[in-house]
Amino acid sequence: MLILHVAPLTSIADYLVLCSADSDRQVRAIADNIEKALAEQHIRPLSLEGLSISQWVAMDFGDVIVHIFRTDLRQVYMLERLWGDAKRVKIPTERVEVLPEPVQTTKKRPARRAAKSQ
């Protein structure tokens, strides 16, 4: 997987995520997993292309566009070469936990005391 910071080069997105898989089924599974994980964070793609064939899936999340290629097609299109001037973003090696939304409690706060009038 490769993440490119393309914001200084284009207005279409801030980041491109490029990844590949060995089969159409794996491409589809990666796309489904990304879509599910982001949906849990209430993030939906603006556009999804290529799911019916699943050789090259493009997922547009606005500031981030994800390209999932079958390995042989990634070598043909070489988007990393096309965006060769883009800065590569280092991917953390450990898994990053996404914290859940804060839980709203039903406890009531003590009422504020009115200021004494003078």
What are the residue boundaries of the structural domains of the chain, listed by start? 2-10+20-89
Predicted pLDDT of residue 100:
64
Pairing mode, if any, of strands 56-60 and 47-49?
A: antiparallel
Mean pLDDT of the chain: 86
> Which of 80, 29, 72, 73 lies closest to 51 in space, CA to CA?
29
C-alpha atoms less than 13 angstroms from C-alpha of 101 in its C-beta half-sphere: 6
CATH number for the region 2-10+20-89 comes to 3.30.460.10
Q: Which of 87, 89, 75 is nearest to 20 (CA)?
A: 75
* Residues 19, 34: Cα–Cα separation, whole Å: 12
Closest listed residue to residue 64, CA positions, set 8, 28, 11, 17: 17
Q: Is the pLDDT of residue 103 over 60?
A: no
Q: State the pLDDT confidence band at 93, using cuts at 50, 70 and 90.
A: confident
Q: Supply the pTM of this predicted model.
A: 0.76
pLDDT tens digits, one per residue of 30-82: 999 999 999 999 999 999 999 988 899 999 999 999 999 999 999 999 999 99
- Say yes or no to pLDDT of 115 above 70: no
